[in-house]
Chain A
Amino acid sequence: MMTLKVNGQDHEIDADPDTPLLYVLRDDIQLNAAKFGCGLGQCGSCTVIVDGNAVLSCVTPLLLLEGKQVTTLEGLGTIEAPAPIQRAFMEEQAAQCGYCIAGMMMRAQALLQKNPKPTDQQIRAELEPHLCRCGTHMRILRAVHRAIRLMDTADAASVAPGRAQ
């Protein structure tokens, strides 16, 4: 039994210490934004934020998360009140099938929390670990640039503290 902090809430988890975080999020806590893509840390669709860093949840065993803050896409905003990064992806219609998008948003969010004004080159380099089979890459890039502008005007800190650490 261990306590896992996800989106500001404590969850008591009964799982082996080598269980991947992704399984716990989806199966135990029913947070289904993070997706199972390859299970090998090669596609990025399972990306979540742990203590401010983008992390591949499919290759992150539970035991590494003792005392850490996990943030999933659900923790950034809601359908009624989407976070700037979510609004930007919607406004640019950056999703086609959408399978990779939660991971893309989480890594972009982690980047913008650390560097609110990344260059196009920095965004491309940062999103390198993410695959998109539909080919909406240019829209995704536009969405991240839009998120930069939204956060600049709306204040990135509008995301509730303790949620997106």
Chain B
Amino acid sequence: MIGSVLAALVIGGAVAAFAIVWRPAIAAIDPPAPQSFDTALVRRGQDLAAIGNCNDCHTVRGGKDFAGGLPVPTPFGTIFSSNITPDAETGIGRWPEAAFRRAMRSGVDRNGQHLYPTFPYDHFTNVTDEDDRALYAYLMTREPVRAPARANQLPFPLDQRVVIAGWKLLFLRRGTYQPDGTRSAEWNRGAYLVEGLAHCGACHTPRNLLGAERASAQFAGGDVDNWHAYAINAQSSAPVPWDAEALFTYLRDGWHPDHGVARGPMAQVVSNLSSVPPSDVRAIATYMAGVSGAPAPDRKRRLEEVLAQARSPAEQASKTNAVGASIYAAACATCHETGRPLPYGGVNLALSTAISNPDPRNAINIVLSGVRPVEGERSPIMPGFAASMNDDQISALLRYLRARFSNQPEWTGVAKTVADARRTQTVFLQTSSGPHNAPADATQRDKP
């Protein structure tokens, strides 16, 4: 009796596990001819792919578009992005639309293999069938590139894709975005894009020990490529509070006079957003302005204090940190204090989120690597100082900037962060796609 109950439990368990883990293969097709896709659909797919920032992960610096192979470092190991060109052997050329939609909706490839959530299907599951169709049409009409997948570097048991099925059971909430009838169409459009295809939370929301976004801390700031993706909810440390208008300008043009220039991994995002319909960027801005909410009353007062502090002579900060003050005077002030208009001049550092942010990494990364100009475009520029300053000198400079241009407590562990950043930035700049730069003015693109 007990034996048969046990047997039933074991069999039942096995069936349940099988149902969770097993996904059927979807039959391969002959790669569809590019001409078989409607051009208007392809055009829409192009905008959607830009909003989804697909090229950022699926392209290696100097490599062919969408051919994959970018190493994505995670706390669990390194995962390489896949080839999503329509190459029949190494890309998605033999994927029917249903297979593409399943990958977007639930993170399963054509063969029925679970995909690692580095591919953010926890967001893409919100994308409508219609938009998936447009994305599919766009990708299937790109140049096919032969580029075999690179093997992920993951320890056992994480290299077993069975594990992903368990992760999905815990963290993947399938289903398309459900509009909120009490909100405007623009807000709903923004919510659909932000929570879905644009997957803003993938970087800006902190993750738990299992690598899933913490729903309770949505948009509270996260980590990506050794940069800090700033908090973009009410905890934002931007000295000037964001509003929808400022967000729109920043996302569209790559910079805003009250906030400076988009840098690090965000540069590619704004570069992509410069070419999509402005109404979509406005919708994203409207939704995100709602997420960060109206600024707390003390925000404006804090800003005024910081600005006054930056205008007054730097006696205190200079006395305690003469090295930092001298470096700032010779290396930084020529651009950051001469009042040249952005984005060609440097932002007043009292307005810089990098300086007021609790995490100093972004400021350190910028000092080390600078801001590289975009080829063939008018764009912001800043020299990097990795070659001329040692770690102690950069630390001294960073401590000075923090004391002089914010009213926040001192950063801790700056020296170690500088050493780490020097090591990791070199790797990032070698592997990241594109120039990682924002256009200075989207309306001026292609008109150097």
Q: Looking at the complex, which of B9-17, B304-312, B330-338 is the stretch in contact with chain A?
A: B330-338
Which residues of chain B from 387 to 401 have a CB within 8 Å of any chain A CB?
A: 387-389, 393
Nearest B residue (CB) for A16:
B326
Shortest distance from the beta carbon of B336 to any chain A beta carbon, whole Å:
10
Cα-based distance from A16 to B318 in the complex (angstroms):
14
A13 contacts B by Cβ under 8 Å: no
From B326, B335, B373, B388, contact of A50 by CB (8 A): B388
- Chain A residues with CB under 8 Å of B88's CB are none
**Interface presence of A55 (CB below 8 A):** yes
B388 and A20 within 8 A (CB):
no
- Tell whether A59 pairs with B331 under 8 Å between CB atoms, given A50-B387, A54-B387, A129-B383: yes
Q: How far is the CB of B86 from chain A (nearest CB, A)?
A: 27
Whether, in the assembled complex, B329 has its beta carbon less than 8 Å from a beta carbon of chain A, the answer is: yes
Chain A residues, Cβ within 8 Å of B388: 50, 53, 55-56, 59-60, 64
A53-B387, A53-B388, A55-B387 as given contacts; A60 in contact with B326, CB under 8 Å: no
Does A64 lie within 8 Å of B327, measured CB to CB? yes
* Interface size class of chain B, counting residues whose CB lies under 8 Å from the partner chain: 20 to 34
For B327, the chain A residues whose CB sits under 8 A away are 18, 61, 63-64
Q: In chain B, what residue has the closest Cβ to A50?
A: B388
**How long is the Cα–Cα vector from A85 to B375 in the complex, in angstroms?**
26
Binds B, one of A37-45, A97-105, A138-146: A37-45
Q: A153 contacts the other chain (Cβ, under 8 Å)?
A: no
B residues 338-374 near A (Cβ < 8 Å) are 372-373
CA distance A16 to B327 in the complex (A): 11
The reply on B381 being an interface residue by CB < 8 A is: yes
- Rounded to whole angstroms, the CA-CA distance of A85 and B139 in the bound complex is 46
Instruction: Judge whether B323 is part of the interface by a CB distance below 8 angstroms.
Output: yes
B373 to chain A, nearest CB (A): 7
Q: How far is the CA of A137 from the CA of B342 in the complex (A)?
A: 28
Q: Give the 10 A-B CB pairs with smallest separation, nearest first.
A: A61-B330, A41-B383, A53-B387, A18-B326, A18-B330, A18-B329, A55-B388, A59-B331, A60-B388, A17-B326
B positions within 8 Å CB-CB of A: 62, 322-323, 325-327, 329-331, 334-335, 372-373, 375, 381-383, 385, 387-389, 393
Excluding A54-B387, A61-B330, 20 further A-B contacts by CB distance (< 8 Å) are A16-B326, A17-B322, A18-B325, A18-B330, A39-B334, A40-B334, A41-B382, A41-B383, A42-B381, A42-B383, A53-B388, A55-B387, A56-B383, A59-B331, A59-B385, A61-B329, A63-B326, A64-B393, A121-B62, A128-B373
